[in-house]
Structure 1
Amino acid sequence: MILPQLFLVLLACLVPLGLAVPTHSFKRPAVASATAADGEPDYFRCSASLVESIPENLTYNRGSPSHASTYFVWNLMINLARSNITIASFYWSLLADDVANTSAATAFEGEDILRRLVEKSSQVNVSIIQNGKQSPNTDLDMLMAAGAKVEWLDVQRLLGSGVQHAKLWSVDGIHAYLGSANMDWRSLTQVFLL
């Protein structure tokens, strides 16, 4: 049961930082002796950025603030992974078929993320912390068949109530995403999330 412990440690590290927005950091790993020009150790440096999902066909006026899309950042994190990807999520529904056995052109981004995670599962350790067992779950079944490790965190049993509702990614212990987008194709193309 290493995954639930890892999730709690990761969450405990992120919460004190006050990261209340989806974040990602794209810095190379720091070497303990490395220092910046100002003498500050590299391991004290990090960056955070807003990430957004905007429903298809929703447009803003020219000059409105814009941010990297959740889809872009998740793809980038998959690309950056060299040894492991850990994802904590409430549920998985990246395939169009997961929703009322329908086909939706707008599900492409979710299906692409799932395809890429399945492929990456043969190259790096992919670990998923999921809220309670939910079956059937085609997405998780595909990932497990490709080698991903899936564990279920029973928050109600551990704490007496509640669910594992976090949406976070950790890649190689260097990059993190903390956000509001579920592992659901609709969170990428149908819902406004910042």
Structure 2
Amino acid sequence: MRKLILLATLLISQITIAHAEFSIPGYELVHTVPVETALATPDLREPLQVWSEMFDSAKTEIVLGQFYVASKPGAAFENVINRLAAAGARGVKIRFLMEEKGKSLSDTGTIERLKQIPHLEFRFLDYSKLTGNGIIHAKYMVVDGDTAYVGSQNFDWRSFEHIHETGLRITDHDVVAQIHAIFEQDWQAQELIAQGKKVAALNQHSVAAHDQSAAFLIASPNAYNPDGIGDSEAEIVKLLAEAKSEVRIQLLDYAPLSYGPNHTRPYYAVIDNAIRAALTRGVKVKLMVSNWNTEKPAIHYLKSLSLLPGMEIKIVTLPKAASGFIPFARVIHSKTMSIDGQIAWIGTSNWSGGYLDNSRNMEIVLRNQAMAKRIADLHQQTWDSSYAQAIDMMKDYPKPVKGQE
């Protein structure tokens, strides 16, 4: 009888594990469901658990590249920072690289708290010193050189509770090594810039990705990608050119525009042209963006794109939190794509100029049917929800409320 009970317990534990994690060899899909919504992903673990486990497992080194940092007392994210601090306290070497421009979005108390962690070195890098107007927009970490995380989640308490986010925990040795190489490249770039020295470009021409592999990393900007890492901008165009029947895309925002001097928005047609070419071939494209994307002039380009045969666009508006307005939250922020149910793209970049050409971003491409289907299903859940509404050609969309009510 005792053996039967033990066997039943083991089976139940295995079932629990199976329903708490969705993964393929080398990659676990990780997701944040905004609280107080009807969305649910019980088969996907949350970054609160995954990040904490990664920090707890660290033995020698943790490196992090982040856009900005923010926490607050009582937030669930506090546990993540406590786990990082515990790693530093037991002697793990930690290097934290943050975008200089991210200071305006950051909580100064969180920055100072991180700086006080034993064995942690904190640096700011102004990425525009490399590319003219870029930023560190990638959100990633590597632990002990054998596990990495890449995704849309910022080092921000809101990303763990009030924002729709998607990322990957990675144990694929080759990809982890490449992510670590990107960190080392940018860490060394910061050293050179701090010394008043120039950072030499690594690539003069677009580097092709190993895009027939089952899994591969792409990154931007191409000029500062370490050896063997393909160009994100060029690869998105190639992936869209592969599409035969359907492409599903989820983004914070999309616009065939870049960011120029004096608040100008120069035309940036790279991705827009690729989408239009796919539509011309008869591919159906379902693009889902956040309500932050309704700013002018971006909304005009979305309306124009939505007129094309085969193109559907929905705008997602999440309800305000019960506690009241939360700045820079209650929004979909995931950056994902599924092509023909065969290819998954999961990354850190928005689809407009400045991100895939001049800023540090990175994406994982997986030629895996199971992952592509899970990304498509994740897209479908929000697409079918009451939060997603088809773009209205006749509507004069109000300016979205982001940082202040």
**Fold shared by both chains (TM-score > 0.5):** yes
Go from structure 1 to structure 2 and tell me whether the alpha carbon gap of 1:87 and 1:185 turns closer, same or farther (over 3 Å shift): same
1:51 aligns with 2:218: yes
State the Cα deviation string for residues 9-68 of structure 1 (Å, max 9, x = none).
xxx78434972479x9967xxxxxxxxxxxxxxxxxx8321110116xx547xxx43411
1:6-45 aligned at under 5 Å gives the runs 14-15=29-30, 16=44, 19-20=168-169
Correspondence for 1:80 among 242, 252, 256: 242
Go from structure 1 to structure 2 and tell me whether the alpha carbon gap of 1:158 and 1:131 turns closer, same or farther (over 3 Å shift): farther
1:157-168 aligned at under 5 Å gives the runs 162-168=330-336
Task: Tell me which residue corresponds to 1:9.
Answer: none
Go from structure 1 to structure 2 and tell me whether the alpha carbon gap of 1:49 and 1:119 turns closer, same or farther (over 3 Å shift): same
1:111 aligns with 2:269: yes
Task: Tell me which residue corresponds to 2:317.
Answer: 154
Whether the aligned pair in 2 keeps the contact of 1:78 and 1:117 (CA below 8 Å) is yes
1:67-146 aligned at under 5 Å gives the runs 67-96=229-258, 100-103=263-266, 110-122=268-280, 123-132=282-291, 134-136=294-296, 137-146=299-308
Q: Compute the displacement of 1:139 (Å).
A: 3.0
Task: Tell me which residue corresponds to 2:158.
Answer: none
1-structure distance, mates of 2:331, 2:358? 24
Q: CA RMSD, aligned part only?
A: 3.5
Q: Compute the displacement of 1:102 (Å).
A: 4.3
| Identity over aligned pairs, percent | 17
2-structure distance, mates of 1:159, 1:188? 36
Whether the aligned pair in 2 keeps the contact of 1:95 and 1:139 (CA below 8 Å) is no
Task: Tell me which residue corresponds to 2:85.
Answer: none
Whether the aligned pair in 2 keeps the contact of 1:53 and 1:188 (CA below 8 Å) is yes
Q: Compute the displacement of 1:70 (Å).
A: 1.0
> Where does structure 1 lack aligned partners over 5 or more consecutive residues?
1-11, 28-45
2-structure distance, mates of 1:88, 1:129? 5
1:69 aligned partner, one-letter code: D
Whether the aligned pair in 2 keeps the contact of 1:25 and 1:175 (CA below 8 Å) is no
1-structure distance, mates of 2:339, 2:352? 19
Query: Which structure is richer in relative contact order (CA contacts within 8 A, separation 6 or more)?
Result: 1
Whether the aligned pair in 2 keeps the contact of 1:180 and 1:193 (CA below 8 Å) is yes
1-structure distance, mates of 2:229, 2:219? 6
Q: Which has the higher strand share?
A: 2
Aligned length: 154
1-structure distance, mates of 2:277, 2:322? 35
Task: Tell me which residue corresponds to 2:353.
Answer: 185
Give the 3-state SS of the residue equivalent to 1:72 in structure 2.
helix
2-structure distance, mates of 1:25, 1:185? 24
Give the 3-state SS of the residue equivalent to 1:82 in structure 2.
coil
> Where does structure 2 lack aligned partners over 5 or more consecutive residues?
1-21, 24-28, 31-43, 46-166, 176-208, 324-328, 363-405
1:174 aligns with 2:342: yes
State the Cα deviation string for residues 84-105 of structure 1 (Å, max 9, x = none).
11110001132248983443xx
Whether the aligned pair in 2 keeps the contact of 1:25 and 1:174 (CA below 8 Å) is no
Task: Give 1 or 2 for the bigger CA radius of gyration.
Answer: 2
Whether the aligned pair in 1 keeps the contact of 2:250 and 2:287 (CA below 8 Å) is yes
1-structure distance, mates of 2:302, 2:348? 20
Whether the aligned pair in 2 keeps the contact of 1:117 and 1:143 (CA below 8 Å) is no
Give the 3-state SS of the residue equivalent to 1:95 in structure 2.
coil
Whether the aligned pair in 2 keeps the contact of 1:51 and 1:69 (CA below 8 Å) is yes
